């Protein structure tokens, strides 16, 4: 007949499985949190969702090369990859924790014999010089599945966090490159402004020398000339600072580091549009990370609740001993013991219930954080879509204003040279042209950065349900 402890083991395993499988359902979002469609205008012919290589949409080979260098050499992305590998090891450890813990030991003792020369007696120390012990311990059976579920959620959260960092790093690289090109466009504009100011200065000085204008006109124009020269020196320093930022992103010293790009005109403005709002929940790394934190808190509540049940522990031990190592393997003297224990805490001054209350509060906090992240992400996309349309309209206005300012300055310069208008009218036209040029350049940069922001807001092509080690953080 089967011994009682052998019949008890299956019962314990089945009971543990049934009890521990009851991981509570993760609290859902409110039905009004995620709309069925976007309210902001969409580009009808644009691609739905960005590609993982979203930067190629700007159609600039130097930008593509820069991103490749960032993926290969950036210090943050290198640490990012190591963090992902560490997260995999942690999850692997959590998987091993689901299994019983084995232990195997082998030992040898001392055995000796001594013959007394006076009496002729023989003394034997006795004992078994070779022994082998093996055991299996399986503790905390009820809480193991929920603990593993918590570990899985934590791992997925770390993967999403790594993807979010990679997306932000690549976005920073692209926007910094755009800033460098804007600086160089500003240099060209400042050189044009300086040339215009110097031309007006020559006219003003000639009028003063001819006695048809007061000296203050030439002095004021000289101030405008020096202002534009100082602006050029400042722009040269900005160029160095921006190149230093790019050099750090690719893991290099700024000395000897340069980019050949000179103007934002070399860039295309890509078009992209989102799919259904509900799809964003699995495409944005920060939302996936927040949702993983919610699942982790939910699993933790299940773990804490298992403390109300008896703690089930299984232990199995096998031992063997023999006078020789050969006999230990072939025909040892062996023993096998299997035991199961149920341990129930009766009194703990309500500590277990307080732990459950704290876990519930943590779960509610995680749900609130997740809802806030989802609402913030959806609102961000709505605002960006509307802002892109506005920036396109403003860009067209800025270009028309620049053309009008250039023509206005040309006319004012001619009238001032011919003595048909005063210096203040010409100076105002000059300042309007200078500020309009800067506004037009700012508008170009804003349109490009708005596309980067939209790519990031849409997840940069990342999806939680695909390869977690996506190329966001790895060089191709």
Apex 424 CA angle, 418 and 430, nearest 5? 85
Answer yes or no: is 467 within a domain: yes
- Judging by beta carbons within 10 Å of its beta carbon (0-12, 13-18, 19+), is residue 456 exposed, middle or buried? buried
In sequence order, what DSSP letters do the residues of 199-211 get, joined into one string?
HHHHHHHHHHHTT
Judgement on whether residues 167 and 247 belong to the same structural domain of the protein = yes
| CA 174 to chain CA centroid, nearest Å | 16
**Under 8 Å CB-to-CB from 348, ≥6 apart: which residues?**
none
Judgement on whether residues 221 and 238 belong to the same structural domain of the protein = yes
**How much is the pTM?**
0.81
- How far is it, in rounded angstroms, from Cα 183 to Cα 194? 16
| pLDDT for the residue 307 | 83
pLDDT at 11 over 50: no
How many domains does one find in the chain?
Answer: 2
Judgement on whether residues 242 and 330 belong to the same structural domain of the protein = no
**Under 8 Å CB-to-CB from 191, ≥6 apart: which residues?**
232
Answer yes or no: is 232 within a domain: yes
Answer yes or no: is 1 within a domain: no
pLDDT at 339 over 90: no
**Shortest CA distance to 13 belongs to which of 104, 125, 102, 99?**
99
pLDDT at 463 over 50: yes
Beta bridge partners of 321: 131, 333
What digits encode the pLDDT tens for the residues 118-168?
Answer: 665 555 555 556 677 777 777 778 888 888 999 999 999 999 999 999 999
- How far is it, in rounded angstroms, from Cα 49 to Cα 98? 39
**Shortest CA distance to 359 belongs to which of 96, 129, 23?**
23
Q: What is the DSSP letter of 391?
A: H
What digits encode the pLDDT tens for the residues 190-244?
Answer: 998 898 889 889 988 988 998 888 899 889 889 989 999 999 999 999 999 999 9
Higher pLDDT, 252 or 98: 252
Phi, psi of 401 (to 5 degrees): -65, -40
Q: Residue 51 to residues 275, 283, 337: CA-CA distances in angstroms?
A: 13, 11, 60
Q: What is the DSSP letter of 265?
A: G
Judgement on whether residues 428 and 363 belong to the same structural domain of the protein = yes
- How far is it, in rounded angstroms, from Cα 144 to Cα 100? 11
Judgement on whether residues 106 and 202 belong to the same structural domain of the protein = no
What digits encode the pLDDT tens for the residues 342-358?
Answer: 666 777 778 888 889 99
Answer yes or no: is 239 within a domain: yes
What digits encode the pLDDT tens for the residues 261-310?
Answer: 999 988 988 999 999 999 999 999 999 999 999 999 999 999 898 888 87
Answer yes or no: is 87 within a domain: yes
What digits encode the pLDDT tens for the residues 36-71?
Answer: 999 988 877 888 999 999 999 999 999 999 999 999
Q: At 297, which CATH number?
A: 1.20.1600.10
Judgement on whether residues 201 and 164 belong to the same structural domain of the protein = yes
Q: Residue 451 to residues 73, 90, 270, 358, 386: CA-CA distances in angstroms?
A: 25, 37, 7, 43, 12
pLDDT band at 2 (very low <50, low <70, confident <90, very high): very low
Lowest mean pLDDT among 102-106, 169-173, 285-289, 382-386: 102-106
Q: What is the DSSP letter of 37?
A: S
Answer yes or no: is 3 within a domain: no
Range of the domain at 44: 21-99+140-309+350-473
- How far is it, in rounded angstroms, from Cα 316 to Cα 342? 15
Judgement on whether residues 124 and 271 belong to the same structural domain of the protein = no
Phi, psi of 138 (to 5 degrees): -130, 100
Judgement on whether residues 117 and 214 belong to the same structural domain of the protein = no
| CA 194 to chain CA centroid, nearest Å | 44
Beta bridge partners of 131: 107, 321
Judgement on whether residues 262 and 318 belong to the same structural domain of the protein = no
Q: Residue 438 to residues 30, 92, 238, 411, 429: CA-CA distances in angstroms?
A: 46, 56, 15, 21, 15
Judgement on whether residues 45 and 119 belong to the same structural domain of the protein = no
Judgement on whether residues 268 and 356 belong to the same structural domain of the protein = yes
pLDDT at 104 over 80: no
Q: At 134, which CATH number?
A: 2.20.200
DSSP H/E element including 130:
strand 130-138
| pLDDT for the residue 124 | 54
User: In this structure, what token pair is assigned to residue 411?
Assistant: 């006319």
pLDDT at 455 over 70: yes
DSSP H/E element including 339:
strand 333-343
Answer yes or no: is 84 within a domain: yes
**Shortest CA distance to 367 belongs to which of 290, 305, 277?**
290
Judgement on whether residues 339 and 409 belong to the same structural domain of the protein = no
- How far is it, in rounded angstroms, from Cα 275 to Cα 35? 12
Q: Residue 341 to residues 97, 196, 276, 289, 317: CA-CA distances in angstroms?
A: 19, 92, 53, 39, 14
CA diameter of the chain: 144
CB atoms within 10 A of CB 22: 12
pLDDT at 475 over 60: no
**Shortest CA distance to 185 belongs to which of 173, 193, 197?**
193
Answer yes or no: is 443 within a domain: yes
């Amino acid at each position: 007949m089967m011994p009682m402890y052998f019949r008890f083991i299956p019962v314990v395993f089945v009971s543990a499985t049934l009890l521990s499988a009851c991981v509570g359902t993760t609290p859902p979002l409110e039905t009004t949190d995620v709309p069925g469609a976007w309210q902001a205008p969409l580009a009808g012919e644009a691609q739905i969702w960005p590609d993982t290589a979203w930067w190629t949409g700007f159609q600039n080979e130097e930008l593509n090369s820069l991103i490749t260098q960032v993926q290969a050499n950036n210090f943050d992305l290198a640490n990012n990859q190591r963090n992902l590998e560490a997260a995999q090891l942690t999850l692997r450890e959590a998987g091993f924790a689901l299994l019983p813990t084995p232990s195997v030991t082998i030992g040898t003792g001392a055995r000796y014999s001594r013959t007394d020369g006076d009496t002729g007696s023989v003394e034997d120390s006795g004992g078994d010089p070779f022994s082998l012990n093996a055991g299996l311990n399986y503790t905390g059976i009820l809480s193991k599945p929920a603990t593993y579920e918590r570990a899985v959620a934590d791992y997925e959260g770390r993967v999403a966090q790594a993807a979010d960092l990679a997306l932000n790093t690549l976005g920073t690289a692209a926007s910094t490159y755009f800033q460098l090109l804007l600086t160089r466009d500003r240099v060209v504009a400042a050189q044009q402004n300086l040339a215009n100011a110097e031309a007006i200065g020559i006219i003003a000085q000639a009028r003063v020398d001819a006695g048809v204008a007061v000296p203050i006109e030439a002095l004021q124009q000289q101030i405008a000339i020096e202002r534009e020269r100082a602006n050029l020196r400042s722009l040269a320093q900005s160029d160095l600072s921006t190149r230093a930022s790019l050099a750090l992103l690719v893991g290099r010293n700024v000395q000897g580091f340069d980019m050949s790009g000179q103007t934002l005109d070399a860039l295309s403005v890509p078009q992209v549009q989102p799919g259904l709002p509900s799809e964003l929940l699995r495409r944005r790394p920060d939302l996936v990370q927040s949702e993983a934190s919610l699942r982790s808190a939910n699993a933790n509540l299940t773990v804490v609740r298992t403390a109300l049940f008896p703690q089930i522990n299984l232990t199995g031990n096998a031992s063997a001993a023999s006078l020789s190592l050969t006999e230990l393997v072939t025909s040892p003297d062996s023993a096998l013991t299997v035991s199961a224990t149920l341990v129930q805490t009766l009194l703990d001054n309500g500590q277990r219930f307080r732990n459950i209350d704290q876990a519930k509060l943590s779960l509610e906090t995680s749900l609130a954080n997740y809802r806030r992240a989802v609402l913030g992400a959806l609102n961000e996309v709505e605002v960006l879509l509307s802002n892109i349309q506005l920036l396109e309209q403003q860009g067209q206005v800025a270009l028309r204003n620049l053309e009008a300012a250039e023509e206005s300055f040309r006319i004012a310069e001619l009238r001032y040279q011919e003595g048909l208008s005063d210096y203040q009218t010409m100076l105002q036209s000059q300042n309007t042209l200078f500020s309009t040029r800067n506004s037009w350049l700012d508008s170009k940069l804003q349109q490009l950065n708005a596309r980067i922001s939209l790519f990031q807001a849409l997840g940069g092509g990342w999806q939680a349900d695909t390869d977690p080690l996506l190329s966001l953080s790895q060089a191709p």
